[in-house]
A and B are shown apart, each in its own frame.
Chain A
Amino acid sequence: MSLQLSPPKTPTETPMKTSTAPRFSRKPGKGMTHKRKSILLTIVMGFMAVYALLPLFWLFVNSTKTQPELFSSFGLWFSGDFALWDNIGQTLTYNDGEFLRWLANTVLYVVVGAGGATFLATLAGYGLAKFDFPGKRAVFAVVLGAVAIPGTALAVPTFLMFSELGLTNTPWSVIIPSLISPFGLYLVWIYAVEAVPTEVLEAARMDGAGEFRTFFTISLRMLAPGFVTVLLFTVVATWNNYFLPLIMLSESTWYPLTVGLNNWNAQATTAGGDAIYNLVITGSLLTIVPIIIAFLFLQRYWQSGLTAGSVK
């Protein structure tokens, strides 16, 4: 699926240094202020970044501490031995390396779940934006209506149904529900209205191209910023999916990282349990790293939106 999506290699994709020409070529007309960097704006945004990163800094600092140090030192600064590598080693090997198994499960759920969800949402959002068909209004209302009903109250009915279908305690019970991203659907819908001009589609139809061919060869590329945004959201959502797997899965062999980490966290609260807060914290840090990598990887596709714009 991602094959069709890979954008043409244009210079715009090279790392976005703030002052290189390609980025500006995007909006050639906006030359009046000529990109003088505003220091005030940068400072204000600096505060925003501190707000966003401070708790993450706490996470990093504390993953460098040993268990006793965790409870005896100031939380926002380093203290004692720098135990990060040791903590990482322990996290990966604790209890026969179950962390790695959970990591593999999570990757499976993300690839199939988030990939599938993004694909379905893009297909459907595009269909809603660019076609008129019987029942279109009903689709809008039904999806919004179902989303408005609190999911936690539906957990028991969903569990009972899945149990009836024999899906509980299998990876499918996690994957199938995560294939649906109503928000992704609406997002692609509104992007497609703006980003894919109807004239382009008409031109393609004139050339005799089928609707699906047009979608994969032309429209998808124009939708890239929306598609990538939805993909990022669904990746994060499936990566952090907690409640559903907690209800559906009873074998730790299928746990995703979130449920596994929560079990580790709960260990400290049970008689004779081994308190491993340092591993919970290090595990959490390790859990966020792949998301950062995914973000860095995906953000280049926002740039591809530029090329989409230039098609017109």
Chain B
Amino acid sequence: MTTTLNATVATEAPTQKRSRGRWTGWAFVGPFMFVFSLVFLAPVLYAIYLSLFQDQMVGGTKFVGGANYVQAMTDPQFWDSVRRVAVFLVVQVPIMLGVALAVALAIDSNRLRFASFFRISIFLPYAVPAVVATLMWGFIYGPRFGLVGNLNELFGWAIPDPLSNHWILVAIGNIVTWEFIGYNMLIFYAALKTIPNELYEAASIDGAGAFSVIRNIKIPSIRGAIGIASIFSVIGSFQLFNEPNILKSLAPNAISSFFTPNMYAYNLSFAGQQFNYAAAIAMIMGVLTMIVAYIVQLSGSRKDS
């Protein structure tokens, strides 16, 4: 059906895709949006609804309006967790994306031996399930019987305990970086692969050097990929959950139950049965995340101009 429709319209206005079948795009986007509504939108709407109630173990459910939101705004534990992920974001995301970009450029440069080996070995950590990753890093971080302990003993070093209060955020940052460098590297690498050859040809005629090609062709061409990776890394940092939550069994004192906003919401919801309040916190985090993502995007597009 769409076929005939488009064909006829196409002949009428070949250059104006806007005017042809205004709704054709929905045929492509529709299936995604249908499933999306069921598994994302509906729970979000339901959660917004839930966030207006309070469910007590004694006394049942009652409508409380915006009280949960008011409570969250003045909840020191919540804002403590927000501050922590903000620090995490500012430090970890640039390091991770910078390294990932460098690695992608190196692999794409054709100047690397064993490029395909590097590509898969740096990607592999992403394939490790979180439970296993924590088992492994937990062993490595172990200050008594673990690798850190072994190294300190063997070489007389004094590597501080990665699971102590002071170092725990660094320890988590390291695991996240380890897991996601490969992931972001692949995004950049795949984007580099879509750069049309003509651009390189033009550059070689101009006699541009390798770094000039990177600066003037490669980076600008994959700006979209860098932007989207940044936004999703921002979202990922704000939603930090798996790594600290699993590491908590090894460092329960350094990682509090409100270590990140997501952990806080999770603990309230599952251990505390306060899923109404947890829903309110999730909504506030959603808005905060949107704002920060928007700022990141703005600053990205400002650089372009």
Which of B3, B203, B289 contacts A211, CB < 8 Å? B3
Which of A23, A208, A240, A296 contacts B129, CB < 8 Å? A240
> Closest approach, in angstroms, between the C-beta of B224 and any C-beta of chain A?
4
> Closest approach, in angstroms, between the C-beta of A42 and any C-beta of chain B?
5
Centre residue among B29, B47, B207, B262 by max chain A CB count within 10 A: B29
> Closest approach, in angstroms, between the C-beta of A27 and any C-beta of chain B?
5
Sample of 5 more A-B contacts, CB < 8 Å, known A153-B282, A157-B50, A306-B193 = A18-B116, A38-B109, A123-B32, A148-B293, A194-B191
Q: Please determine whether A52 and B122 come into contact, CB atoms closer than 8 angstroms.
A: yes
- Alpha-carbon distance between A123 and B24 when the two chains are bound, in angstroms: 12
- Provide the A180-197 mask, 1 if CB < 8 A to any CB of B, else 0: 101101110011011100
Which of B41, B132, B147, B205 contacts A287, CB < 8 Å? B132
- Alpha-carbon distance between A280 and B131 when the two chains are bound, in angstroms: 10
Contact residues, A183-240 vs B (CB, 8 A): 183, 185-187, 190-191, 193-195, 198, 201-202, 205-206, 208-213, 215, 225-226, 228-229, 232-233, 236, 239-240
Q: Please determine whether A146 and B111 come into contact, CB atoms closer than 8 angstroms.
A: no
Q: Please determine whether A242 and B130 come into contact, CB atoms closer than 8 angstroms.
A: yes
Which of A1-9, A87-95, A96-104, A126-134 binds B? Answer: A126-134
Q: Please determine whether A148 and B290 come into contact, CB atoms closer than 8 angstroms.
A: yes
- Alpha-carbon distance between A120 and B32 when the two chains are bound, in angstroms: 5
Q: Please determine whether A191 and B290 come into contact, CB atoms closer than 8 angstroms.
A: no
Residues of A within 8 A of B26 (CB): 127, 133, 135
- Alpha-carbon distance between A55 and B135 when the two chains are bound, in angstroms: 10
Contact residues, A4-27 vs B (CB, 8 A): 16, 18, 23-24, 26-27
Q: Please determine whether B190 and A229 come into contact, CB atoms closer than 8 angstroms.
A: yes
Residues of A within 8 A of B283 (CB): 149
Closest to B232 in A: A183
**Are A194 and B221 CB-contacts (below 8 A) given A24-B110, A26-B197, A154-B47?**
yes
Q: Please determine whether A180 and B32 come into contact, CB atoms closer than 8 angstroms.
A: yes
Q: Please determine whether A161 and B112 come into contact, CB atoms closer than 8 angstroms.
A: no
* Residues of A in contact with B, size category: 35 or more
Q: Please determine whether A153 and B115 come into contact, CB atoms closer than 8 angstroms.
A: no
* B residues lining the A interface (CB < 8 Å): 2-4, 6-7, 10-11, 14-15, 17-18, 20-29, 31-33, 35-36, 38-44, 46-47, 50, 99, 103, 106-107, 109-133, 135-137, 139-140, 146-147, 150, 178, 181-183, 186-187, 189-191, 193-198, 200-205, 207, 209-210, 213, 221, 224-225, 227-228, 231-232, 235, 238-239, 241, 261-262, 265-266, 269, 275, 278-279, 281-283, 285-287, 289-290, 293
Q: Looking at chain A's contact residues, is the secondary structure mostly helix, strand, loop, or mixed?
A: helix
Residues of B within 8 A of A41 (CB): 106, 109, 111-112
Residues of A within 8 A of B195 (CB): 194
Which of B14, B35, B150 contacts A74, CB < 8 Å? B150
Which of A142, A148, A305 contacts B193, CB < 8 Å? A305
A to B CB contacts below 8 Å, 7 in the list:
A24-B110, A42-B112, A48-B122, A127-B29, A161-B46, A210-B4, A284-B132
- Alpha-carbon distance between A309 and B197 when the two chains are bound, in angstroms: 7
Q: Please determine whether A52 and B44 come into contact, CB atoms closer than 8 angstroms.
A: no
Contact residues, A296-312 vs B (CB, 8 A): 296, 299, 302, 305-306, 308-310, 312
Residues of B within 8 A of A209 (CB): 3, 7
Residues of A within 8 A of B290 (CB): 144-145, 148
> Closest approach, in angstroms, between the C-beta of B263 and any C-beta of chain A?
8
Residues of B within 8 A of A64 (CB): none
Q: Please determine whether B6 and A211 come into contact, CB atoms closer than 8 angstroms.
A: yes
**With an 8 A cutoff between CB atoms, is A271 at the interface?**
no
- Alpha-carbon distance between A45 and B26 when the two chains are bound, in angstroms: 44
Residues of B within 8 A of A310 (CB): 197
Residues of B within 8 A of A45 (CB): 103, 106-107, 112, 118
Residues of B within 8 A of A205 (CB): 6-7, 10, 14, 20
Q: Please determine whether B124 and A265 come into contact, CB atoms closer than 8 angstroms.
A: no
Closest to B151 in A: A76
- Alpha-carbon distance between A124 and B27 when the two chains are bound, in angstroms: 9
- Alpha-carbon distance between A75 and B150 when the two chains are bound, in angstroms: 9
Closest to A243 in B: B242
Residues of B within 8 A of A37 (CB): 111-113
> Closest approach, in angstroms, between the C-beta of A215 and any C-beta of chain B?
8
**Are A198 and B17 CB-contacts (below 8 A) given A42-B114, A309-B197?**
yes
Closest to A237 in B: B126
Q: Please determine whether B47 and A299 come into contact, CB atoms closer than 8 angstroms.
A: no
Q: Please determine whether A58 and B228 come into contact, CB atoms closer than 8 angstroms.
A: no
Q: Please determine whether A287 and B194 come into contact, CB atoms closer than 8 angstroms.
A: no
Q: Please determine whether A75 and B194 come into contact, CB atoms closer than 8 angstroms.
A: no
Residues of B within 8 A of A295 (CB): 120, 123-124, 127
Q: Please determine whether B228 and A187 come into contact, CB atoms closer than 8 angstroms.
A: yes
Closest to B154 in A: A74
Closest to A33 in B: B210
Residues of B within 8 A of A127 (CB): 25-29
Q: Please determine whether B209 and A32 come into contact, CB atoms closer than 8 angstroms.
A: yes
- Alpha-carbon distance between A38 and B228 when the two chains are bound, in angstroms: 31
Q: Please determine whether A305 and B269 come into contact, CB atoms closer than 8 angstroms.
A: no
- Alpha-carbon distance between A62 and B247 when the two chains are bound, in angstroms: 20
Residues of B within 8 A of A161 (CB): 42-43, 46
> Closest approach, in angstroms, between the C-beta of B297 and any C-beta of chain A?
10
Q: Please determine whether A150 and B241 come into contact, CB atoms closer than 8 angstroms.
A: yes
**Are A133 and B2 CB-contacts (below 8 A) given A18-B114, A75-B146, A258-B131?**
no
> Closest approach, in angstroms, between the C-beta of B127 and any C-beta of chain A?
4
